Amino acid sequence: MKYFNVFNAAFIVLLIGPPTQAQDMFAGYEHLFTTPRQYTAYQPDGEIRIDGKLKENSWDAAPWSEYFIDIEGDKKVAPVFNTRFKLLWDAQNIYIAAELEEPNIWANVKQHDAVVFYDNDFEIFIDPDGDTHNYFEIEVNAINTIFDLFLVKPYRNGGPILINWDVQNLRSAISSKGKINRSKGIDQKWFVEMAIPLRSLSFGNGIQLPKDQAIWRINFSRVQWDIDIVKGKYVKKMDSITSRPLPEHNWVWSPQGVVDMHLPERWGYLHFSTQKAGTPKIDVSLPPAEKYKKYLWLLFYQQQQYRQQHQRYASELTQLNLPAIIELPGIRCKLSLEANSSQYKAVIQSFTENENWQINHEGKINKILIP
């Protein structure tokens, strides 16, 4: 859940020119445009019992994700302990299982909706419609304490954050190979298993049921603290200068590029399949719109930087050194901007795809119709 301002770097002057110079448009922002990971969720063949043990044949057949890496990606060292997940779904629930290697399993937070990431934890972030607003976060520690919240907007846009919101009828369980909060001996790993009702991730009276080949945005995070054992108890390692705990490690499935999980546009892609788990793997690809929307995100990041420097938003594309027409191999589109000092909206119109997308000053992105 921890986050930082990602726009404090020096302002980058972007070069505009022929296709050979196209990559210069993203100079200084490359870490925010690495390709997110993708996972395909299949359906279970039978009931999933939420007991943390993952004994069902459907779990055996479901593919594991890639192992987690540092939240900033390859520029940081790889995690010292492995983390991975599996996912299934049906008409009622999304089922999530996670495996976290851990030689010292511990947890202290026991109260629901307390700050669970003060312990080592596992975190889930879900944005069903991919507009970066109205998304969900669920955190759990090794004693199955849940911290669930609903975010109307990312922290960068001022919230609000609804901690009192709960995932109604959430079922979760923990199992472990090791003894929790016992410092004698070496533990191996702990497991998370959840059933998240689709109704709880829906608005209004209807269930937001994914269709075959639907795509959601999702990510997973693991917070890991460095610890010592003092008089038989686990304690966080302290900074000798500040006398505060050393910063936590943030390990994630799909790297964010910065230490901030609340950039939903950086999350991975979850593909839904109505086939049963264990069927031949489906080749998936991203919708064509994804290659266009990245220019709206580039404009958004630049507008954030411009406002920090000038206390207002840029009103013209030229102030951001962005072109109105983008022509590259496989991409032909028009970028337009309407803005005043305190707000803006930008639209990208594809000349080859029958789709047009808009982003505003709050980072909300959505498909629009152009007459």
Is it the case that residue 15 has pLDDT exceeding 60? no
Say how far apart CA 268 and CA 341 lie, in whole Å: 33
pTM attached to this predicted model: 0.92
Contact 146, 112 (CB under 8 A): yes
Contact 251, 79 (CB under 8 A): yes
Q: How confident is the model at residue 2 (pLDDT cuts 50, 70, 90)?
A: low
> What is the per-residue pLDDT across 286-320, written as a single tens digit (0 to 9) for each?
888 999 999 999 999 999 999 999 999 999 999 99
First to last CA, the chain: 41
pLDDT at residue number 350? 92
User: Where is average pLDDT lowest: 9-23, 90-104, 314-328, 339-353?
Assistant: 9-23
> What is the per-residue pLDDT across 134-165, written as a single tens digit (0 to 9) for each?
999 999 999 999 999 999 999 999 878 999 99
Say whether 37 sits in a helix, a strand or coil.
Answer: coil
Contact 146, 140 (CB under 8 A): yes
Say how far apart CA 37 and CA 35 lie, in whole Å: 7
| pLDDT, the chain, mean | 92
Number of H helices, E strands in the chain: 2, 20
Task: Tell me the CA distances in angstroms from 55 to 61, 86, 246, one per residue in order.
Answer: 11, 13, 37
Backbone region of residue 243 per phi and psi (left: phi > 0; alpha: psi in -120 to 50; beta: other values): left
Q: What is the DSSP letter of 244?
A: S
User: Beta strand pairing status for 215-224 and 121-127?
Assistant: antiparallel
Is it the case that residue 55 has pLDDT exceeding 80? yes
pLDDT at residue number 7? 45
Domain ranges within the chain, ordered by starting residue: 1-33+287-371, 36-276
* Mean pLDDT value across residues 250-276: 97
Say how far apart CA 128 and CA 133 lie, in whole Å: 10
Q: Which residues of 149-159 are buried (b: 16+ CB within 10 A; e: fewer)?
A: bbbebbbbbee
Q: What is the DSSP letter of 290?
A: H
Q: 36-276 maps to which CATH number? A: 2.60.40.1190
Is it the case that residue 16 has pLDDT exceeding 60? no
Is it the case that residue 27 has pLDDT exceeding 80? yes
